[in-house]
Amino acid sequence: MLSSKFIHAFTRQIYHTNLITSATFNVIKKHNSTHTKNDLVLVDVNDKTGFSIVTLNRPPVNSLNLELLSAFSSVLDDLHKNNSRGMILTSSSSTVFSAGLDINELYKPDMDRVRKFWTSLQDCWIKLYGSSFPTAAAINGHAPAGGCLFAMCCEYRVMLPKYTIGLNETQLGIVAPTWFMATMKNTIPLRQAELALTLGKMFKTDDALKLGLIDEIAENKEDAIHKCEIFLKKYQKIPQTARALTKQSYRKNDIMELENNREADLQLFFLAISDPRVQSSLGKYVAFLKLKSRMKPILEAVKFLKGIFKSKKKKN
Ligand SMILES: CCCCCCCCCC/C=C/CC(=O)SCCNC(=O)CCNC(=O)[C@H](O)C(C)(C)COP(=O)(O)OP(=O)(O)OC[C@H]1O[C@@H](n2cnc3c(N)ncnc32)[C@H](O)[C@@H]1OP(=O)(O)O
């Protein structure tokens, strides 16, 4: 049974949004696209379908820092207020959907900033996972951890070949919050979710499809967006309120669990990142990522030389 508080909150959310015509909506209508502060999140509305393509745009890897999360949170508010017909979430990078949380926010954090950061992440999750409008993710690159989380919040996922997706937190020596886990449990079978979470497993596109972590594979970004549009169009024949309430009822327990325990979740997060062992793991990970990035030209040169040797061998 749905609690009356829940019904009231969500029906208010759904019915009232139909009546709102905000200033932002006018901007969207007029220019067909809006950019947030610093262009960290780009929004383009397709005139014909009414679907919004929301592009995470924080080079090089869309790591989720406070500013990107705040921008995304306000975009989600705008879509909600404007009674969006559907959202497609994607990335401006050609190889990374999102690298997840910006490790620099977690490593040796400023406590004031990290409070805002975690609260913003909670906001984004509540708004995206519980959105009244339908959502799909065009995963046009790697999607580790927080990147996977945002993709899983969407109702449909289309991914490009040869990338990886998963909640890899345990590999970093950290524990995924319970609401990250709940999102995965809502996406793939329970036992597979437990294995994936404890192993911190990253799945290649093909394996993610077999597991049900994604729904389709696309040839390229345009194809992925097209496939997401086909998915969203299916809802055009379904009464909007019935669809939204069904989605929100389905996800209600997970959302209420966080809504009712936001401060406790924040305190748990503080406790976790204050642990010297967690800080040590994060420090090593930051150093590893930096080293890997610096080694890239050398690794590419080695790959190139290997290619030359191989083709010479074939000729001989
Ligand atoms: C019971 C409940 C307890 C609750 C306790 C709570 C505890 C806290 C929970 C915290 C949850 C965290 C979830 C997360 O999202 S953590 C982030 C995990 N992300 C990753 O592991 C991804 C790391 N990145 C990569 O694997 C790769 O970068 C990539 C995404 C596959 C892309 O590879 P590519 O080769 O294209 O790019 P580079 O690796 O060369 O990276 C380019 C530059 O970007 C920097 N970088 C990469 N990822 C991040 C990141 N996540 N944050 C910050 N910076 C990142 C990298 O260092 C390079 O920078 P440089 O060129 O300046 O060195």
Q: Which of 101, 172, 213, 245 is catalytic?
A: 101
Strand partners, 88: 53, 136
Question: Among 56, 61, 262, 279, which is best to mutate for testing ligand 1, by the most ligand atoms less than 8 A from CB?
Answer: 61
| Full-model pTM | 0.90
Residue 168 annotated as catalytic: yes
pLDDT at 31: 38
For 21-57, write each residue's pLDDT tens digit.
222 332 333 336 766 556 999 999 999 999 999 999 9
Residue of 227, 95, 218 lying closest to 164 (CA atoms): 95
Residue 19: pLDDT over 60: no
Buried b (16+ CB within 10 A) or exposed e, 270-283: eeebeeeebbebbe
Distance from the CA of 170 to the center of ligand 1, in angstroms? 13
Share of the chain above pLDDT 70, in %: 88
Over the chain, what is the mean pLDDT? 90
pLDDT at 129: 98
CB proximity list for 196: less than 8 A, separation 6 or greater: 166, 167, 184, 188, 203, 211
For 179-190, write each residue's pLDDT tens digit.
999 999 999 999
- In this prediction, residues 13-27 reach a mean pLDDT of 31
Which secondary structure element, helix H or strand E, spans residue 127, and what is its range? helix 111-129
pLDDT at 32: 61
pLDDT at 25: 31
For 243-290, write each residue's pLDDT tens digit.
999 999 999 999 999 999 999 999 999 999 999 999 999 999 999 999
pLDDT tier at 303, thresholds 50, 70, 90: confident
Q: Check if 253 has its Cβ closer than 6 Å to any atom of ligand 1.
A: no
pLDDT at 283: 95
pLDDT tier at 16, thresholds 50, 70, 90: very low
DSSP letters, 90-105, are EESSSSBS---B-HHH
State ipTM: 0.97
Backbone angles phi, psi at 266, to 5 degrees: -65, -45
For 141-150, write each residue's pLDDT tens digit.
999 999 999 9
Asked if residue 65 lies in contact with residue 53, where contact means CB atoms within 8 angstroms, the answer is: no
Q: Check if 265 has its Cβ closer than 6 Å to any atom of ligand 1.
A: no
Residue 101 annotated as catalytic: yes
CATH for 2-274 is 3.90.226.10
pLDDT tier at 309, thresholds 50, 70, 90: confident
For 80-115, write each residue's pLDDT tens digit.
999 999 999 999 999 999 999 999 999 999 999 999
